[in-house]
Amino acid sequence: MKNLILGALLLLSTITYSQYHIDSLYQNQESYLLYSVVQDYDSLPQEVLNMKVKNWAGTAFVSLPEVLVGDTKEQIVLRFITNEFYFKMLGMATICPWYIRVVILMKDNKLKISFYDDGNAFWPARYSGTTLIPAVQAGKYHFNNYAFKKDGTAAKMSNEGIANIKPICINMASSLKLSILTAASPADNSGW
């Protein structure tokens, strides 16, 4: 009976704790590409797509000028900080702010949206108990060399936090597509 209960507990613990793997996070580790998708739109010229992407970005971020890195007719580059990555130590979660770069390429009827791991944001020096934790410069670490072990599995302390990253990218790309499909065309002023 004890062996049956012990076996059930062991099975339950392996089911509830699945370790995140680096291949689940990156589509391309060398370029730090997290997620990339091509979206097709019927009969939307590049200029209209550009305007709709800017409109979406203006509502998706608190301050568009602070996240807008590059803006041309064919491309918009955004860089924002996410606070969704964290690690747990002694049961306490520590948030690690992280930069995500979004490159949106445009041509008639198409967008290519790519999300990149752009490294850690600046971590100021702080005290933890009686120990000073030194500041860490921005961009020093990427997820692959901070949250993963050499075998490609997530370190146990960062497993839950790292699992939050890809859904952010997927949800943001879906939000952009929904915004483009539901937004009124520039010629349609009937809503005003």
Domain boundary assignment for the chain: 19-182
The contacts of residue 163 (CB under 8 Å, 6+ apart) are 20, 154
* pLDDT at 134 > cutoff 70: no
How many other C-beta atoms can be found within 10 angstroms of the C-beta atom of residue 92? 8
Is the pTM higher than 0.85? The answer reads no
- How high is the pLDDT of residue 12? 45
With H, G, I as helix, E, B as strand and everything else as coil, classify residue 27: coil
pLDDT cut 90: percent of the chain above it: 54
Mean pLDDT computed over 7-33: 73
- How high is the pLDDT of residue 128? 54
- How high is the pLDDT of residue 5? 53
How would DSSP label each residue in 100-160?
A: EEEEEEEETTEEEEEEEEEEEPPB--EEETTEEEPPB-TTS--HHHHTB-TTSBBPGGGHH
- How high is the pLDDT of residue 78? 96
pLDDT band at 14 (very low <50, low <70, confident <90, very high): very low
- How high is the pLDDT of residue 111? 96
Mean pLDDT computed over 172-184: 89
- How high is the pLDDT of residue 1? 52
The helix (run of H) or strand (run of E) holding residue 6 is helix 2-16
CATH 3.30.530.80 fits 19-182, yes or no: yes
For residue range 39-78, what is the model confidence (pLDDT) as tens digits? Answer: 999 889 999 999 999 999 999 998 899 999 999 999 999 9
